[in-house]
Structure 1
Amino acid sequence: MSPLDTTTAPQPASRERKPMKSKSRSGRTAAAGALGALSCLLLAACGAADAAQETEAGRAAACAPYAAYRGHEGTTVSVLMTGNLDGVRLAQALRRFSDCTSIRIDIEGNTSVEDEVRKRAGTGNAPDLAIIAQPGLIAELVGSGDFKPAPDSVAKLAKENWAPGWLEYGSVDGTLYAVPYDSSVKSFVWYSPAALKKGGHAVPETWDEMMAVSEKIAASGGTPWCVGFESGGATGWPGTDWLEDVMLRVHGPEVYDQWVTHAIPFDDPKVVEAADLAAKVLKNDRYVRGGTAGIAEASFTKAGQPVLENRCTFYRMASFYAGNWPRGTKVAADGDVFAFQMPAVDPAKGKPALVASTFVGAFGDRPEVVAVQEYLASADFAGKRVAAGSWTTANNKVDLDLYTGDIDKLSAEIMRDPGTVVRFDASDMMPAAVGAGSFWTGMTDWVGGKGTKQVLAEIERSWP
């Protein structure tokens, strides 16, 4: 029987700090408990069946790649992660590793990993490994005293498999603590290939081309954009992504970093300039389906659907939105719907991409924990997890042909392209009072009619 287990701890109803902003959260959490328990039974049964069918020589050959991780038989490593289908697929990707090393891996699902980690850090009840989404939380956990630096062997793998910029987000004061797990592209504009072609438009390659197409569509009586900011208690977060994308394109990564760290104030003239450019879409009633006054009430999960009926042409939303289209929708360049990378304002400055990622960090440093950390940082694990589906990584050693979805493959290509200017979601790195508070409400007020300078000044005053 496989020593790998997947469980989902019962949790009170709660909301993650950034609901749905990271990759593929939609529609999956509700069934997490049942799926987590079921995956344990299925994996155990499959492991037993595999063992019965394999010859001794065949098993030895299959387990040869895991020889370096052996020597810890009979041990258990706990992993805390978001409690949804990702846990089931992680279990699938780890099954052979667990069978061959006899390291039992207990995967605990939780609807609010960041809150749970904060509660358990420093109590002696922290998980061995945690998969967390917020770089700012990593520094906070380091301050708790029991979050461990990445072992040298893990750091070596990380440097081999990721571009340096990715590792900065998992580092504190130059020391690597957490290695990227999954990563996703947020700077996508969804569209209908057939509708765009029928209108005589090509996929825009620059910001000016995108706005020119928008104007042509509006002038002909169509609606170029769908926009929705409603997300329950997190209403407004899609607006933060819009402003972040435009800031990165207008002013480049250096100014973007200054804004994130508050080296320039939130209402700096550079931020005003970026907001004014975003306003050409978001505060333009000719461009937005239903008018800008309805943006705050339009659910972001449903707002993009009119693209399929040609009731709007573009919808800006992250790669996870591929899972929001109706069953049977073909997501491909020649399909019913696809996405292009939001174009640069100045192509000479590179191809900007706003990204999100989760990171694997450790509270334990036992040898078996290090062994699992090493494997999670390897190209072999990343390839197996990609093959399990609905997952993308910036690990540059993964064969792109393993991706089964066109949007996942495109995301991986963008993240690995040396010409891509990658920056992490700004609001996820800002203090919670801003990034998960005044920034959300400020963008909602802004599309509701408040002036740009007034909104940015109010957000600035909220900075701790």
Structure 2
Amino acid sequence: MMRRRTTLLTSCTALALALGATACGGGNVSAGGGDKALSGQTVTVAGVWSGSEQKNFQKVLDAFSAKTGAKTQFVSTGDNVSTVVGSKIEGGNAPDVVMVPQVGVLQQFAKKGWLKPLSPAAQQTVTADYAPVWKKYGSVDGTLYGLYFKAAHKSTVWYSPDALAQAGVKPPKTYDQMLKAGHTVSDSGLAAFAVAGQDGWTLTDWFENIYLSQAGPQKYDALAAHKLKWTDPSVVQALTTLGKLFKDKQLVAGGQKGALNTDFPSSVEKVFGPKPEAGMVYEGDFVAGVAHDQFQKSIGKDANFFPFPAVGGGTAPVVSGGDAAVVLKDGKNAKAGMKLLEYLATPEAAAVWAKAGGFLSPNKKLDLASYADDVARATAKSLVGAGDSVRFDMSDQAPAAFGGTKGAGEWKLLQDFLRDPSDPKGTAAKLESAAAKAYQD
């Protein structure tokens, strides 16, 4: 279930915009000119991607084939990567490479002994071209197993420039300014925010941005690892801050009840659809794809974003998600699989998908000119520019029973909090109880 937030959403919402950008350093994106050293070999890759995401990743695999001579085969796993890959390993049909969508799943694979450490060449590239935080999230017990190829920027607030202009407000710099701007938008006839409360994962993202900014990265890391209890005063404070928004009927389209009946695509529709009900919607960079593909909005003109603002004197948060490439020990062609990872680590590979749209790379060496439009360039610059202050989506680091299951754990408890935000302390206690059970299991 968890994976719907950054993959199936982006697959139906890819930023398929203009295709005119060039690769790093200019010139064609083609990966030709290799020595065809892998001719006659096939690399099997498994991942959750489908639709336009699978199609765009295939372009990357085709570029690898053109460079090395290897054939590739992509297998779409659906949401439950862990179960599908486990059954393939047991059946003697393990893929060579898996694109892993959660830190928790990567750790699970490593602890089961399924993964090969990255080759020295790939490790060297990661060390040189990525912020250390991406190496941390790809490592288990000090060994680097995962290469983060695709990232999501989950600290972006999307807005209708017309709605803000009509209200006479500018993109805010702080959370309090955002709520104040929201009231001004509301006074002009639209609700401030469309909140996708029907999808519990969106509420975890709201909480994570507030918590990271307000409590700081050290406490964020401790809470993500459950080394800090959810009953900590910092959690109660973040819930109180979030509750201030949730209980304000001027700010939330349809009020709490309306939000609980709004899924993610509908929240984007309420801002960018034919009958706007709100001026702003918070979610990741993939909002742009829905606005463009489903509602024909010109990104940067009819739909734009501002960074999730700083909360309570903290720094502006940068929360990310991402897909890490790993090589399975039991793959029939793990050696060629590692060559694919070495290729995916290059800006050349990232440029192929960046040009197609619907993609962000954490690779610092990827020329921003490779991206298809100015907004994609801006989100990529923000993600890479955040360096080591980026934090991976907290619920994606948690056991699925707590951080990634519909109708249970954090998703359900934050939906309950949206329904009635009057008791942040009580909600924190319930979150701690659910987390303790999940981490123990």
In 2: Cα distance, 1:143 partner to 1:377 partner: 24
In 2: Cα distance, 1:156 partner to 1:23 partner: 32
Q: Which amino acid aligns with 1:314?
A: M
Q: 1:367 aligns with which of 335, 344, 347?
A: 335
Q: Where does residue 262 of structure 1 map in the other structure?
A: 226
Alignment deviations for residues 120-173 of structure 1 (CA, whole Å, 9 cap, x no partner): 345532210000101111111112223111111111111122111111111001
**Conserved in 2, the CA contact under 8 Å of 1:236 and 1:296?**
no
Q: Where does residue 13 of structure 1 map in the other structure?
A: none
Q: Percent identity?
A: 28
Q: Which amino acid aligns with 1:338?
A: N
For 1:189-208, what aligned pairs fall within 5 Å after superposition?
189-208=157-176
In 2: Cα distance, 1:27 partner to 1:87 partner: 11
Q: Where does residue 5 of structure 2 map in the other structure?
A: 20
Q: Where does residue 444 of structure 1 map in the other structure?
A: 415
Q: Where does residue 316 of structure 1 map in the other structure?
A: 282
Instruction: Return closer, same or farther for 1:17/1:114 CA change in 2, 3 Å cut-off.
Output: farther
How many pairs are equivalent? 408
- Structure 1 residue 189 displacement after superposition: 0.9
- Structure 1 residue 22 displacement after superposition: 4.2
Q: Where does residue 76 of structure 2 map in the other structure?
A: 109
Instruction: Return closer, same or farther for 1:21/1:454 CA change in 2, 3 Å cut-off.
Output: farther
Moved more, 19-28 or 156-165: 19-28
In 1: Cα distance, 2:308 partner to 2:379 partner: 12
**Conserved in 2, the CA contact under 8 Å of 1:78 and 1:107?**
yes
For 1:378-457, what aligned pairs fall within 5 Å after superposition?
378-418=346-386, 421-436=389-404, 437-449=408-420, 451-457=423-429
Q: Which amino acid aligns with 2:240?
A: D
Q: Where does residue 53 of structure 1 map in the other structure?
A: none
**Conserved in 2, the CA contact under 8 Å of 1:22 and 1:320?**
no
Alignment deviations for residues 12-71 of structure 1 (CA, whole Å, 9 cap, x no partner): xxxx33323447435379xxxxxxxxxxxxxxxxxxxxxxxxxxxxxxx9743x23xx43
- Structure 1 residue 331 displacement after superposition: 1.2
**Conserved in 2, the CA contact under 8 Å of 1:76 and 1:105?**
yes
Q: Where does residue 352 of structure 1 map in the other structure?
A: 317
Q: TM-score, normalised by structure 1?
A: 0.83
- Structure 1 residue 101 displacement after superposition: 2.1
- Structure 1 residue 221 displacement after superposition: 5.3
Q: Secondary structure at the match of 1:319?
A: coil
In 1: Cα distance, 2:67 partner to 2:209 partner: 44
**Conserved in 1, the CA contact under 8 Å of 2:102 and 2:396?**
yes
- Structure 1 residue 300 displacement after superposition: 1.8
In 1: Cα distance, 2:68 partner to 2:387 partner: 40
* 2:66 equivalent to 1:81: no
Q: Where does residue 271 of structure 1 map in the other structure?
A: 235
Q: 2:57 aligns with which of 90, 109, 122?
A: 90
Moved more, 360-369 or 409-418: 360-369
Q: Where does residue 134 of structure 1 map in the other structure?
A: 102
Instruction: Return closer, same or farther for 1:295/1:142 CA change in 2, 3 Å cut-off.
Output: same
Instruction: Return closer, same or farther for 1:381/1:419 CA change in 2, 3 Å cut-off.
Output: closer
Alignment deviations for residues 316-346 of structure 1 (CA, whole Å, 9 cap, x no partner): 11111112123421111xx111111111125
In 2: Cα distance, 1:331 partner to 1:378 partner: 28
Moved more, 221-230 or 118-127: 118-127
In 1: Cα distance, 2:353 partner to 2:189 partner: 45
For 1:219-234, what aligned pairs fall within 5 Å after superposition?
219=187, 222-230=190-198
Moved more, 174-183 or 386-395: 386-395
Q: Where does residue 52 of structure 1 map in the other structure?
A: none
Instruction: Return closer, same or farther for 1:284/1:121 CA change in 2, 3 Å cut-off.
Output: farther
Larger Rg: 1
Q: Which amino acid aligns with 2:74?
A: I
* 2:114 equivalent to 1:149: no
**Conserved in 1, the CA contact under 8 Å of 2:328 and 2:334?**
no
Q: Where does residue 337 of structure 1 map in the other structure?
A: 303
- Structure 1 residue 220 displacement after superposition: 5.2
**CA RMSD after TM alignment:** 2.2
Q: Secondary structure at the match of 1:168?
A: helix
Q: TM-score, normalised by structure 2?
A: 0.87
**Conserved in 2, the CA contact under 8 Å of 1:93 and 1:388?**
no
Alignment deviations for residues 364-421 of structure 1 (CA, whole Å, 9 cap, x no partner): 4743222212111111111122123221111111111111133322221111114773
- Structure 1 residue 219 displacement after superposition: 4.7
Q: Secondary structure at the match of 2:216?
A: helix
Q: Where does residue 44 of structure 1 map in the other structure?
A: none
5+ long unaligned stretches in structure 1: 1-15, 30-60
Q: Which amino acid aligns with 2:108?
A: E
Q: Where does residue 214 of structure 1 map in the other structure?
A: 182
Q: Secondary structure at the match of 2:321?
A: strand
Moved more, 242-251 or 295-304: 295-304
Instruction: Return closer, same or farther for 1:396/1:213 CA change in 2, 3 Å cut-off.
Output: same
* 2:428 equivalent to 1:462: no
**Conserved in 1, the CA contact under 8 Å of 2:270 and 2:277?**
yes
Instruction: Return closer, same or farther for 1:99/1:115 CA change in 2, 3 Å cut-off.
Output: same
**Conserved in 1, the CA contact under 8 Å of 2:159 and 2:304?**
yes
Q: Secondary structure at the match of 2:74?
A: strand
Q: Where does residue 258 of structure 2 map in the other structure?
A: 294
In 2: Cα distance, 1:304 partner to 1:384 partner: 28
In 1: Cα distance, 2:251 partner to 2:239 partner: 16
Q: Taking CA–CA contacts closer than 8 Å with sequence separation of 6 or more, which of the two structures ends up with the larger relative contact order? A: 2
